[in-house]
Structure 1
Amino acid sequence: MRNPSPTRSAAHSAGQSAGQSAAPYAEALTAHAREPWLRLNVPGHAADPDAFAELAAFTGEAQLRLDVPPLLDGLDLGPDSPRATALRLAAEAWGARRTWFLTNGASQGNRIAVMALRSLGECLVVQRSVHSSVVDGLVLSGLRAAFVQPAVDRALGIAHGVTASDLARALAANPDAAAACVVTPSYFGAVADVRALADAAHAAGVPLVVDESWGAHFGFHPELPRNALALGADLVISSTHKLGGSLTQSAMLHLGDGPFADRLEPVLERVFQLTQSTSESALLLGSLDLTRRRLATGTDAVGRSLRAAELVRERIRDRGRFAVVSDGFADFPDIVAADPLRIPVDTRAGGIPGHEARWRLMTEHQVLVEVATDSAIVAVVGAGSAPDTARFVAALHALPVTVPPGRGTESLELPVPGEVRMTAREAFFAPSRSVPAEEAVGQVSASTLAAYPPGIPNVLPGEVITAELVSFLQSTARTPGGHVRGASDPEVRNLRTVSRPRC
């Protein structure tokens, strides 16, 4: 069965299948778990809460019974199996030709996408502020990257998106491009003009790949932006566990029904088989099925979440100490909308750095937020969740003033990436050595390093390490709650560089 065209909206298009109210895989898995099986197969706990009492106490007895291996009759096998039906319903819900369930997160989806694109050419035109898993895909595939620089709010250390004109120029400069790859929405909720980006890619004769990890909920309520498939994207990575609400590490990969689908589908399937575990978690797969059903049929619940998020923004504005970052999105030409389930807060405007605010909210108020930069935090409201908005607003305004309020020169500016001297694959596999950070300046990085969260790489394998980069990473590492993902030591005193002469 061919699924709806990507020109249709995802979950609310006319004539959508009434089957969206079912959750075939999750329901079949639950029924299977109720049977009195003598389990002489893996996993080794055999769903025995007595023999594995500690594990049962940790996970719950129901979870032990639901933890079954793949390739079971009645669950996974056959074109009309519960699993196959669940995949078809997911493709229908998001407006895809075909959907794959992933159990290693959207990171796996990014790696699959980039590796599959190697079948179309040798160069990927890619937004520089992509997730580090896209860089992993470059290493695995050997694709050469031609980077498109995003718009950057340097005062807040936020990278947004790219414009269609910038993408078109990059594609024109790289006629051998296999595809274009962009990120939308951003960690801070900035939404790019996917329709214009898709038009630019298609005019250059290449598919548009969208890392829509933070937009799995798009299209499932009239007040939400349309999803990337509905706007012409050819391949979309969806981190369903984020604002969609499935279990952590579960995600989806969606193939649009466009001109590149026939060529991409078979290689995507092969790369999926190459990267997906042969012992994938039934719990994760079942959570994806349930999440699809909830998003496709839960407009009212999503509406309550939207109202809760807007209430938080209104209260922050009314109290006047902090600023709502998305209120300034109109200043950036690459942003056409904001994700209303994201609450980005300029904390320096209220006298406290973002990393410190995140750390204090966690340790002093038991409030967890998703993302921090030196100047801001982002709270997220899951689609369908109902958070205690008053508690968050009260905790935020109870934070002490620890720096002069406002966007002063004390804030850390996002460093400009260094010059590219090698492909990511060449640098990753080249002989390398660990050197003191100050000696690494001017040398080529062998590692991917990202001030985390949010995980956008500040330096890639193959890029030159700059003094500004070293200062930024070390300053982030010294900040309470700060962390540099990929660093060999917590203080970033040493960096791994390619064993070649200085550039």
Structure 2
Amino acid sequence: MNSTATAATAAQSPTAAGQHHAPYAAALQAHAGRGWLRLNVPGHGADTARFDQLTSLIGPDALRLDFPPLLEGLDLGTGSPLAQALDLAADAWGARRTWFLTNGASQGNQIASLVAPSLGRALVVQRSVHSSVIDGLVLSGLRACFVHPSVDADQGIAHGITPEDLAKALAEHPDAAAAYVVTPSYFGAAADVRGLADAAHSAGVPLFVDEAWGSHFGFHPDLPAGALAQGADLVVSSTHKLAGSLTQSAMLHLAEGPFAERLEPLVDRAFRMVQSTSASALLTASLDVARAALVRDRAAIGASVSAADQMRRAIRSLGRFAIVSDTFGRFPDIAAADPLRIAIDTRSGGISGHEARHRLSCDHQIMVEVATDSAIVAVVGAGSVPDTDRFVEALHCLPSAPPDSTPTADRPRLPPPGPALMTAREAFLSPSRAVRAEDAAGMVSADTLAAYPPGIPNVLPGEVITREVIDFLQLTAAAPNGYVRGALDPAVGGLRVVDAGACSSL
């Protein structure tokens, strides 16, 4: 369940001596201190006096560090500080090669989807993947063959898939290009990646893993092993989430495996296609610094795990709320749990997750990551040690609503998707029209509709919109901080559907 394989590899490798150093970040700071007259972009020119409002917002140092790409001494050449930083990152995560992303893990998922058509005609995909994977299917045009995850019916949350389910799906689709799974889940459930990799490789296809929420895995003995260490071939890592880099920065890792020679040039070309030509030096430097911190300070990560454990123990001992991960043992697809995720069943304490999140924010100035109808999820970043007492005390100050008279079976829960009549690309590019939500049931969606967070699509382009999905999305939109990506309006009063003629012509 726990592994130090990644950290051990970094400690023994030829680049181990440099793992505590952040070469790109150091070069960027040195470059900024050279007193430049800047007659290039960005337009602020690091003029802190004339751009005083921007300076007051982000600080003079950040303004001076905001350089464009393709500069000598920073990112030009095979031995540049950026090249060194990329090599160190690949070494730290145990990858053959790593790419720095400045448009989040979403960019990595799009890259993975774009390269898949070179390997086959269909993508076997866990149905609860992030919406960016579906965006990638729209870009690539691949047919998706979905494997449905286990669902906690009481909590209304999806977990993962088993190696057996993946093997069965791959056997049913011999034209598969790759298998695509997400682990860990938003609630911290980690899958049996070794088993999933074995199932994929036995079918002759690579395993792509959206490990957005597991960029810290493998860097401490109390954390689960990372996907690369368990046989995954291409891994998307949202480094900003729990590993400490700046928002919107991420990494893409390619394993040294049977598919590496074929995938590497394709990934490199797809990366250039979707990466900004004005990649942020600040985001790039933050990835370099985050990697060095993960490798250097295991004690800090241990302190983060201890803080999260302390929160769970306190919540259990007070008895009002339940811990969602305490039920993970009931699900065969869950092999481990991320200890830095604290998922709390709020309904057991007499308040919905949406209301709990709203009250914590407005009354106590405490932010949590996500809320559902039944739960909230708090996260502790690797290396962070929050005020655990403040959180536990505020949580237990939340009002307890009168018992809900709505039968559990009648409460809106995570609805199953409707059948797919078209590929995501076909539906997205087909003639479409806007209709009222109440009229959309039975029609084919032209858009991806996903409750945020976590951004798992509830309906895909090409899928039939069901009444249950409409009700769920409208409930989500009506909740405090509720948001549905892809809806035509914030209340989900209208949806975009494929014209009936486009469907009938297939």
TM range (shorter): over 0.9
Q: Tell me which of 9, 26, 46 is aligned to 2:5.
A: 9
| Equivalent position of 2:197 in the other structure | 198
Partner of 1:239: 238
Deviation at 1:412, TM superposition (A): 2.3
Letter in 2 for 1:23: A
Task: Tell me if 1:488 matches 2:485.
Answer: no
CA distance in 2, matches of 1:395, 1:485: 30
Q: What's the offset of the Cα at 1:480?
A: 2.2
* Equivalence for 1:3: none
Partner of 1:434: 434
1:479 aligns with 2:476: no
> Per the alignment, in what secondary structure is the counterpart of residue 241 of structure 1?
helix
Q: What do the CA deviations read for 1:235-258 (whole angstroms, capped 9, x no partner)?
A: 000000000110000000000000
Distance 1:482 1:36 in 2: 47
Change (3 A) 1:20 1:405: farther
Is 1:356–1:481's contact at 8 Å kept on the other side of the alignment? no
Q: Deviations over 1:26-55 (max 9, x none)?
A: 000001111111111111111110111111
Q: Is the 8 A contact 1:357 1:377 kept in 2?
A: yes
CA distances 1:447-502 after superposition (whole Å, capped 9, x unpaired): 11111111101000000001111111111222222221221111111111000168
- Whether contact under 8 Å (1:353, 1:403) holds in the other structure is no
* Equivalent-residue separation in structure 1 for 2:19 and 2:403 (angstroms): 52
The 5-angstrom pairing of residues 279-428 of structure 1 reads 279-404=278-403, 408-409=408-409, 411-428=411-428
State the aligned residue count.
497
Farther off after superposition, 151-160 or 235-244: 151-160
* Aligned residue in 1 for 2:168: 169
Higher mean alpha-carbon deviation, 243-252 vs 351-360, is at 351-360
Which consecutive residues of structure 1, in runs of 5 or more, have no partner in the other structure? 1-6
8 A Cα contact 1:250 1:284, kept in partner:
yes
Q: Indicate yes or no: 2:450 matched with 1:453.
A: no
* C-alpha distance in 2 between matches for 1:366 and 1:405: 27
1:221 to partner: Cα distance: 0.2
In structure 2, C-alpha distance between the alignment counterparts of 1:40 and 1:271, rounded to whole Å: 31
* Aligned pairs for 1:137-286 within 5 A: 137-286=136-285
Task: State the secondary structure of the residue aligned to 1:198.
Answer: helix
The 1-side partners of 2:193 and 2:411 are apart by 32
CA distance in 2, matches of 1:58, 1:152: 43
1:233 offset after TM fit, Å? 0.2
Question: Structure 2: how far apart are the matches of 1:151 and 1:51?
Answer: 56
Q: Mean alpha-carbon deviation: is it higher for 37-46 or for 198-207?
A: 37-46
Contact 1:351 1:402 (C-alpha < 8 Å) held by counterparts: yes
CA contact (8 A) 2:4 2:221 kept: no
Structure 2 distance, partners of 1:333, 1:45, is: 55
- Partners of 2:402 and 2:429 lie apart in 1 by 43
How far apart, in 1, do the equivalents of 2:33 and 2:480 lie? 47
Give the Cα separation in 2 of the matches to 1:494 and 1:277.
33
Give the letter aligned to residue 7 of structure 2. Answer: A
* The 10-residue stretch of structure 1 (201-210 or 153-162) with the greater mean CA deviation from structure 2: 153-162
Aligned counterparts of 2:92 and 2:377: Cα–Cα separation in 1: 28
CA contact (8 A) 1:123 1:177 kept: yes
**2:4–2:218 contact (8 Å) kept in structure 1:** no
What is the DSSP-based 3-state SS (H/G/I as helix, E as strand, rest coil) of the residue aligned with 2:496? strand
SS in 2 for 1:390: helix
In the other structure, the counterpart of 2:96 is 97
Q: Compare 485-494 and 229-238 and name the one that shifted more.
A: 485-494
SS in 1 for 2:240: coil
Worse-superposed segment, 185-194 or 116-125: 116-125
**Secondary structure, counterpart of 2:420 in structure 1:** coil
Distance 2:153 2:322 in 1: 16
Question: Structure 2, unaligned stretches of length 5 or more?
Answer: none
Structure 2 CA distance, aligned partners of 1:8 and 1:335?
20
Question: How far, CA to CA, are the matches of 1:94 and 1:448 in structure 2?
Answer: 32
Q: Secondary structure at the match of 1:480?
A: coil
Task: Name the SS for the 1:252 alignment partner.
Answer: strand
**Identity over aligned pairs, percent:** 67
Deviations 1:112-158 (A, max 9, x none): 01101111111000000000000000000000000000000122111
* Residues 348 and 403, structure 1, Cα contact 8 Å, conserved in 2: no
Give the Cα separation in 1 of the matches to 2:155 and 2:412.
8
Spell out, residue by residue over 1:55-114, the C-alpha distance to the aligned partner (whole angstroms, 9 max, x if none).
Answer: 111110000110001010000011111000000000000000000000000000000011
Determine if contact 2:209/2:235 at 8 Å carries over to the other structure.
yes
TM superposition shift of 1:300: 0.3
Contact 2:451/2:483 (<8 A) preserved: yes
Counterpart CA distance in 1 for 2:80 and 2:452 is 40
Alpha-carbon RMSD across the aligned residues, in angstroms, is 1.4
Q: For residue 458 of structure 2, give the secondary structure of its aligned residue in structure 1.
A: coil
Q: Which moved more, 1:493-502 or 1:428-437?
A: 493-502
The 3-state SS of whatever aligns with 1:402 is: coil
Structure 2 match to 1:4: none
> CA separation in 2, counterparts of 1:267 and 1:8?
31
TM-score in terms of structure 2 length: 0.96
Superposition TM-score, scaled by structure 1 size? 0.97
Q: Is the 8 A contact 1:127 1:162 kept in 2?
A: yes
Amino acid at match of 1:491: A
Deviations 1:368-414 (A, max 9, x none): 00011110110000000010111111111111112527993464211
Query: Which of 20-29 and 115-124 deviates more?
Result: 115-124
Distance in 2 (CA, whole Å) between partners of 1:438 and 1:391 is 44
Instruction: Tell me the CA shift for residue 12 of structure 1.
Output: 2.3
**Cα contact 1:349–1:405 (8 A) shared by 2:** no
Secondary structure of the 2:342 match is strand
Structure 1, 114-123 or 298-307: larger mean CA deviation: 114-123
Q: Segments of 4+ in structure 1 off by > 6 A?
A: none
Q: Which residue of 2 aligns with 1:61?
A: 60
**Residues 477 and 483, structure 2, Cα contact 8 Å, conserved in 1:** yes
Match of 1:498 in 2: 498
Q: What is aligned with 1:127? A: 126
- C-alpha distance in structure 2 between counterparts of 1:308 and 1:486, whole Å: 37
| Distance (whole Å) between structure 2 residues aligned to residue 256 and residue 92 of structure 1 | 11
